[in-house]
Amino acid sequence: METELDRRAREILEGNDRGGYTVPNGRVYPFQWNWDSAFVALGFASFDQDRAWREIETLFQAQWADGFLPHIVFWRDDAGYFPGPAVWATGRTPPTSGITQPPVAASVIRSLWARAKDKKAFRPRLEALFPKLLAWHRWFAQVRDPLGKGLVVATHPWETGRDNSPEWDVPSRVIDTSQVGEYQRRDTTHLDQSVRPTKLEYDRYLALVQFGRGTGWDQQRIARENPFRVADVGMTMILLRANRDLLALAEELGRKQEADELRKFIARSEAGVGYLWDEQRQSYCSRDVITGQSSGFVTSASFLSFYAGVRHQTRDQKMLAQLERIAGAAKYLMPSLDPEDPGFDSIRYWRGPVWAVVNYLIATGLSDAGHTSWAHRVRRDTRALIEGAGFFESYCPITGRGTGGGDFSWTAAMWLHWARHE
């Protein structure tokens, strides 16, 4: 039986639909975002499977020749948004940004394929998307794995999806912001500054954009010389899971050679992921590959080890102990930063708030690993947050109030795909 929240979630997706792609929130984010679209497709699949596939197909229309998939596609100009296509200056058609985002698309396509009612009708679309997905995964292996450990090295905090996580504070200190100049942000004209990244953080973001632009968006050079290069625990775990899901699709399509290649990607990551284990912190943490220093922060991304299929009995028990401790410090799981960390801020973007999409990944991983009670807890908390506050960008883990933008597409999608279910 359809509820009022079900109807409202559909209205949000349809209202943010721009014909083939969906904006996260019309006022703050007026373009197509990479991992947002992947999650949005899961929401559309609950009532329109064709539209769900089209969301991903539209995203991959902006893929670069080397397999790189940008984090923003500027399908239409919006003069009020900063930094817009003129700032990025990637020289692409359609205009895009010059950085990527967490590669959840292959996992989403596997889910859409599993749910496809008419496999015969959707198989040609799967056949068409498969080589594009594989090209993106190859790009990560060839360009963003300088250590050869199957890890993803991020060259911009925006790539991680967790823009202002404290994980990036120390690695960002070396970024020269002296040439950034004056600019007008759009986010703080629509949202309270208390929930957004600071001016210093934004200066650093823009300095990195300027660096990339100065190379002509030479991705190989950026990967070697960029002042910010961090092995991101979130992107690494998401790519490992995505490689597993793409392998399942390769086997489904009878692509034996590609399946063997993906198995090698997976084996490399499984062997190398221990590099992100911080023995002192007893958690998976991001690591600066320039200095070799662990971030030492326990974030929501740390718990994606279960989602990635990383199995290590001792470390898994340590992560479950971290989960239990955090559950005792916050009313709602999963805060984006350990609530006992001195820098915890319950309403500032990725320094505390709960995000429905990350909760979905965490709960999926916990369920897959057999930790069903914790998976149910994460889902219940997500459902309670949405029922209590509505479809916000994120939520305070202490009070449950919504933070960031309202009528948010990926939160509506998570409700329809996952959170509303018992």
The residue to which tokens 């009878």 are assigned: 254
Please tell me the pTM assigned to this model: 0.97
Burial of 94 (0-12, 13-18, 19+ CB in 10 A): middle
Which is catalytic among the residues 167, 381, 393, 407?
A: 393
**Cα 414 off chain centre by:** 14
Which is catalytic among the residues 48, 163, 169, 201?
A: 163
CATH of the domain at 374: 1.50.10.10
357: Cβ–Cβ under 8 A, 6 or more apart, which residues?
Answer: 35, 39, 410, 411, 414
Domain that includes residue 13, residue range: 4-419
Provide the domain count of the chain. 1
Burial 196-226 (b: 16+ CB within 10 A, else e): bbeeebbbbbbbbbbbbeeeebebeebbeeb
Burial of 25 (0-12, 13-18, 19+ CB in 10 A): buried
159 noted as active-site residue: no
36 noted as active-site residue: no
- pLDDT tens for the chain, 422 residues: list them: 789 999 999 999 999 999 999 999 988 889 999 999 999 999 999 999 999 999 999 999 999 999 999 999 999 988 888 899 999 999 999 999 999 999 999 999 999 999 999 999 999 999 999 999 999 999 999 999 999 999 999 999 999 999 999 999 999 999 999 999 888 766 655 556 666 788 899 999 999 999 999 999 999 999 999 999 999 999 999 999 999 999 999 999 999 999 999 999 999 999 999 999 999 999 999 999 999 999 999 999 999 999 999 999 999 999 999 999 999 999 999 999 999 999 999 999 999 999 999 999 999 999 999 999 999 999 999 999 999 999 999 999 999 999 999 999 999 999 999 999 97
Maximum C-alpha span of the chain: 57
Residue 375 and residue 366 in contact, taking contact as beta carbons nearer than 8 Å: yes
Please spell the DSSP secondary structure of 252-320, one letter per residue.
Answer: HHT-HHHHHHHHHHHHHHHHHGGGGEETTTTEE--EETTT--B----BGGGGGHHHHT---HHHHHHHH
30: which DSSP letter? -
| Other beta carbons within 10 Å of 5 | 18
Listed residue (230, 9, 240, 231) closest to 104, CA to CA: 240
Write the CA distances from 45 to 83, 213, 363, 411, integer angstroms: 31, 37, 20, 14
Q: How far apart are CA 259 and CA 265, in angstroms?
A: 10
Q: How far apart are CA 24 and CA 21, in angstroms?
A: 10
| Other beta carbons within 10 Å of 14 | 14
